[in-house]
Structure 1
């Protein structure tokens, strides 16, 4: 699906607004062949620097197996609808596109696993604004261009 398909939809999903303040979330990860892989709760907080059009966004996933993963994002707005992001476990940069109620975010990350190992996974996430305080994300994770899991995430914003 192309990001342009969401032009003119509302409410707008702007990372520099939505990811600022305190958020909480919930996630389920399913295998592509069906079946629940993991569940997680998410606590997050973001701050916006208007001088650099940059959001510093930290999110911590607490998984149902007891492990956690914290991502510390730096998200920079390049031009209208275009973003890049950095995080300490990324391979290269994350790239994002925004139009209307949608934000498309793609990146490759060396992702910690429950067994103490980590894998480079390709993420392809679509954020959809529900209102100014909630969004739903449908994402996929895979390796070598082959997706093997789908994530369904809901975020609620407090401030």
Structure 2
């Protein structure tokens, strides 16, 4: 007996469904961005183009401070070509594992959601390229590995076309270091 074509198409599409943050709800340790990014954090990252070619390496020094119910996260980037950049995030929990983020080079609001050891951010970044500014969408996934280590993979796109990926490793110093 042959399955109807519509049923086969639905099964195929269901098999291609993207993960959701809720898929990681049982994973431990629990990621609390307001706790993990409080204080000093160091990150090492790379940017790869859509073919996977490494275009840039960078390090990030971060300082997170609580201001009322917001976490102000200052990121200082140093790129392999010697250029520098700073971004200041204002992150605020808005309930049920959701977060809102604002930064000067982010168009509108960044929206985040946590569950288990995962955090997913979605936002539009104003990306400077050779004197021009482009609006680029980020789909940013973070996974807490242990209390001091976090992995991050962000996919960049424009008009739905894949532009490249950013991969980062975050590490918290030991207490008292």
Q: Distance in 2 between matches of 1:156 and 1:45?
A: 12
TM-score calculated relative to the size of structure 2: 0.84
Relative to its length, the structure with more helix (as a share) is 2
Matched positions, count: 156
Q: Which runs of 5+ in 1 are unaligned?
A: none
| Bigger radius of gyration among the two | 2
- By relative contact order (CA 8 Å, sep 6+), the higher-ranking structure is 1
Deviation, structure 1 residue 67: 1.3
Q: Distance in 1 between matches of 2:143 and 2:52?
A: 23
Q: List 4+ stretches of structure 1 deviating above 3 A.
A: none
Q: Distance in 2 between matches of 1:139 and 1:15?
A: 16
TM-score calculated relative to the size of structure 1: 0.93
* Correspondence 1:72 to 2:88: yes
What does the per-residue CA deviation read over 1:74-99, in whole Å, with 9 as the maximum and x for residues that have no partner? 00000021111100121110000000
| 2:135 matched residue in structure 1 | 120
| 1:55 matched residue in structure 2 | 71
Report the RMSD for the aligned CA atoms in angstroms.
1.2
Contact 2:52 2:164 (C-alpha < 8 Å) held by counterparts: no
